[in-house]
Amino acid sequence: MKPNRLSRCLTTLACTLLSIAAFVPGCADDPAAPAFDNPFDPRNPAAADPLDLRAVYADGRVTLSWITPPGRGITGYVVHWVYLDNNYEIGRLTTVTAAMTFVVEEPVANTINEYRVQALGANGATAAISHVVPATVMVPPIVRLASGLGEVRSRHQDLIVRAAAGDYAQIDVDGGFTQPAQAEIQADSTVFFASFDLGPRPGTAPACTVFARAAFDLGGGLPPAWSLTDTLPLTINFAPTILRPDSTTTVAEPLTDLAVSHGGAGVDSMRFGTSPEDVAAAPWRPGAALATAVELLDTVQEQTVYAEFLADFGFIRSSTLALVADPLTAAEFRLVLPGNRVSLVREVPVRSEAQATEMRISQYPDFAGSAWVPYADRFEIVLEGEPGLKVIYAQFRNHWYESPILTDFVILSGASVQVAFTHPTDGLILEGGTTIDVAGVATTFDGDFPITRVQVHLGDGWQDANGGDNWEAVWDVPRLAADTTWPIGALARAENAGGVFYTGVAWINVTISQLTVAITAPAPFAEIERGTTVAIAGTATPFLAGAPLDSVVVDAAGQRLSAAPPLDDWTVDWTTPEGAGTTPVEITAWVYAGADSLSDRVQVTLVAPAPGR
């Protein structure tokens, strides 16, 4: 035996557990209730427990329940776990009802757990009922799926047993433990059972149960002392469905791959057909997450695929999927280019999306010399000829249809012009509402082609920058409603004396962050009665990576009000001035964060109180 585990070295604990297992038919007995004449006077124990505290174990949790004695001024409770005469606070309740409950989500497994509830009086003072005898409950070793779920799709599951005391644990799907799996309890009070077999479940069994218990090895040739038994009811949720791997319901040929839901978990074997009779006659194939090359009908009409799945539990489930030939009217084709559509190289990436088996791509509208090739949704086209505008043509086809001819265009630069940002850098956080310098460098491949122009795109079109090889521009960073990723670009032009030019482009992303404050209540132009108290509310946020919010201050008709935390969702109470007549009033809210501040305003109208007030 291992002396470092709770109570293993105490033979008396094993005997106690034997006694409990022998005399307790359920999860726990109610403790003997202590008696108090005055429930708030521990020195006079003559009446019943004023709280009638009870503890019940079920489903891996302990539920404590008690009653609130009337007329005692109880304002709350503190819940304690009692161990070695020490009270450890595990919960605090501030809402008091006649019948109280508290759930201990992770009790100490395979040992007696004791709990005490202490009442709180006015101003949070503790009432003198902490001497009430604790409620006790025997918690068995707790068994759970390693996934933490309560349902399974496969008969092979990883399970974990928690037990603070004991030498080894057993699990089985038979409450008599006729064929248990067994392993030693580890130093962390757990046992891991890998790929435990829940066993076959023929027919349509929707559930099964795992039983767990722990043993105390008494030595000396004595049989082990067994703990109480825990149960884990499991729902068998085996109902696979099929779908196309790209989630579409259109196909390119009478042969397709089908994905099986949940990665094919629990599927021992599967078969497919285009009618119930076909699927019943089809050969079984091994279970998998993907069924490849499933045969369909050679038709453009809608058809249904039927599937049957044999669970490793031993029963069968069915699924269907409606499919139709894709007419290719929604086929897409585009070149992957920067915003100015200029390519510095001849190899241009292409993206397409079509339920097709073949495609052809060309720089010529008659597709001269361009053969049909197998379809791919990611590929490259190599641009031919002199620099300049290039129109690219694409067409797709499948087993039944051809798509319309699709086009896109690109400007081939033909020269290596490079442009780059030195400030800001990619990913930098900028503060909205400020002004910054945007700067960078530009280079060209040939001295006969100097940099003649640099433009920047800061979100509102291309604008000229100052300089050439070293360029700069001023940017009034916009103030936005929320933190936003913002692309900015630079375009450099290299031109020779004959007017031939080449371009290069660069794009980076920055984040524009906001210091914000907003008044959300009262609404603009609201009418507010004089002599009343109204809530002025709003929101505020600091700059990303900036100073935190320091304060929110509100001015309402000359009254200066400071909001209490939390400042991101603030509120202040405003007592409106008394009097008669109608007066417009401006409410202003300021937010302060380090050296930064911002304000928001809303106008309301003070009106005379309603008659009779």
Residue 34 clears pLDDT 50, i.e. is over it:
no
Q: What is the DSSP letter of 75?
A: -
Cβ neighbours of residue 129 closer than 8 Å, sequence gap 6 or more: 36, 39, 40, 42, 50, 51, 117, 118, 119
CA atoms within 13 A on the CB side of 561: 23
- The CATH code of domain 516-607 reads 2.60.40.10
Segment 147-165, tens digit of pLDDT: 989 899 999 999 999 999 9
Residue 25 clears pLDDT 90, i.e. is over it:
no
Segment 376-433, tens digit of pLDDT: 999 999 998 877 788 999 999 999 999 999 999 998 866 578 889 999 999 999 999 8
Query: Is the full-model pTM beyond 0.75?
Result: no
pLDDT at site 84 = 81
| CA angle, residues 14, 20, 22, in degrees to nearest 5 | 105
Residue range 475-490: mean pLDDT, rounded = 91
Residue 129 clears pLDDT 80, i.e. is over it:
no
- For residues 259 and 443, what is the distance between their CA atoms, to the nearest angstrom? 51
pLDDT at site 581 = 85
pLDDT at site 369 = 81
Q: Which residues are 284's β-sheet partners?
A: none
Q: Do domains 28-139 and 516-607 have the same CATH topology?
A: yes
Residue whose structure tokens are 């022998």:
22
The residues spanned by each domain of the chain are 28-139, 142-236, 242-325, 332-412, 418-513, 516-607
pLDDT at site 415 = 59
- For residues 24 and 27, what is the distance between their CA atoms, to the nearest angstrom? 7
pLDDT at site 343 = 81
The percent of residues in the chain predicted with pLDDT above 90, rounded, is: 66
Residue 3 clears pLDDT 70, i.e. is over it:
no
pLDDT at site 29 = 44
**Which range is least confidently modeled, 14-23, 185-194, 273-282, 439-448?**
14-23
Segment 568-605, tens digit of pLDDT: 999 999 999 988 889 999 999 999 998 888 899 999 99
Q: Which residues are 332's β-sheet partners?
A: 353
CA atoms within 13 A on the CB side of 407: 9
Residue 11 clears pLDDT 50, i.e. is over it:
no
Mean pLDDT estimate for the chain: 87
Sign of torsion over alpha carbons 178, 181, 183, 188: negative
Report the candidate in 499, 507, 495 with the shortest Cα–Cα distance to residue 417: 495
Of residues 467 and 346, more confidently modeled? 467
**Contact present, 546 and 594 (Cβ < 8 Å):** yes
pLDDT at site 596 = 85
- For residues 402 and 417, what is the distance between their CA atoms, to the nearest angstrom? 40
**Which range is least confidently modeled, 8-22, 40-54, 161-175?**
8-22
pLDDT at site 132 = 59
Tell me, letter by letter, the H, E, C secondary structure of 391-419. Answer: EEEEEEECCCCECCCEEEEEEECCCCCEE
Q: Quick check: bond before 338 cis, omega within 30?
A: no
Report the candidate in 513, 512, 509 with the shortest Cα–Cα distance to residue 339: 509
pLDDT at site 197 = 95
Report the candidate in 587, 579, 584, 586 with the shortest Cα–Cα distance to residue 608: 579
Give the E-state strand segments of 68-197 in sequence order: 76-83, 86-93, 99-104, 111-120, 135-139, 142-145, 151-152, 156-162, 168-172, 181-184, 190-197
User: pLDDT grade, residue 613 (50/70/90)?
Assistant: low
Residue 27 clears pLDDT 50, i.e. is over it:
no
- For residues 480 and 101, what is the distance between their CA atoms, to the nearest angstrom? 49
Cβ neighbours of residue 130 closer than 8 Å, sequence gap 6 or more: 42, 87, 116, 118
**Which range is least confidently modeled, 44-53, 349-358, 488-497, 505-514?**
44-53
Sign of torsion over alpha carbons 438, 440, 444, 445: negative
Residue 321 clears pLDDT 50, i.e. is over it:
yes
pLDDT at site 609 = 85
**Contact present, 342 and 317 (Cβ < 8 Å):** no
pLDDT at site 303 = 97
Residue whose structure tokens are 């094993």:
14
Q: Which helix (H) or strand (E) holds 14?
A: helix 11-23
**Contact present, 134 and 31 (Cβ < 8 Å):** yes
Which homologous superfamily is 418-513 in? Immunoglobulins (2.60.40.10)
pLDDT at site 221 = 86
Question: For residue 146, what are its two tokens?
Answer: 């390693």
Residue 50 clears pLDDT 80, i.e. is over it:
no
- The CATH code of domain 28-139 reads 2.60.40.10
Segment 540-577, tens digit of pLDDT: 999 887 889 999 999 998 899 999 999 999 999 999 99
Residue range 280-297: mean pLDDT, rounded = 96
CA atoms within 13 A on the CB side of 393: 13
Q: Which CATH number fits domain 332-412: 3.40.718.10, 2.60.40.10, 2.30.110.10, 3.40.50.300?
A: 2.60.40.10
Segment 77-100, tens digit of pLDDT: 999 999 887 889 999 999 999 999
Residue range 441-470: mean pLDDT, rounded = 89
- The CATH code of domain 242-325 reads 2.60.40
pLDDT at site 56 = 95
- The CATH code of domain 142-236 reads 2.60.40.10
